[in-house]
């Protein structure tokens, strides 16, 4: 990466792609996460990148995964799980219909929240 800045003992790399700055975070040897910093100013990118690194380290200390899922994705997985149960005879048709009906409201209310 040309013009990249390596910070925090190599755990954080700030680089520029198509005019926008990105952060590449090393979570463990061989495992990286790349996020857009949504800025074109290098100083702001460095500050935001450090903040992102500290957030990731804090999540790791708490035993949380580095990436979160959206609530709407979790709802979709739950519906697939209940559809499998229905196919095996463990969930009634009425219950499955109710789950699908209520899921629309949950998606609208909290679908974009990270969990």
pLDDT tens-digit series, residues 1-50: 667 899 999 899 999 999 999 999 998 888 899 999 999 999 999 999 99
**Are 77 and 53 within one domain?**
no
Q: What is the pTM of this model?
A: 0.62
Same domain, 27 and 53: yes
Same domain, 19 and 55: yes
What is the full DSSP assignment across 7-20?
ETTTTEEEEEETTE
How many domains is the chain partitioned into structurally? 2
Range of the domain at 51: 5-62
Domain co-membership, 106 together with 58: no
Most confident region among 59-63, 90-94, 107-111 by mean pLDDT: 90-94
Say whether both 12 and 37 belong to one domain.
yes
What is the reported pLDDT for 90?
94
Give which of 82, 112, 111 is closest to 98, Cα–Cα: 82
Q: Are both 75 and 48 inside the same structural domain?
A: no
Same domain, 54 and 95: no
3-state secondary structure of 108: helix
């Amino acid at each position: 990466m040309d013009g990249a800045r390596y910070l925090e003992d190599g755990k954080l790399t700030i680089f520029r792609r198509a005019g926008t700055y990105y952060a590449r975070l090393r979570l463990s040897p061989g495992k990286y996460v790349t996020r857009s910093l949504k800025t074109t100013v290098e100083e702001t990118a460095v500050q935001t990148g450090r903040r992102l690194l500290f957030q990731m380290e804090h999540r790791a200390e708490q035993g949380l995964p580095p990436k979160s899922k959206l609530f709407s994705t979790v709802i979709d997985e739950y519906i697939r799980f209940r559809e499998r149960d229905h196919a095996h005879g463990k969930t009634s048709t009425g219950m499955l219909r109710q789950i699908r009906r209520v899921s629309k409201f949950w998606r609208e209310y909290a679908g974009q929240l990270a969990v």
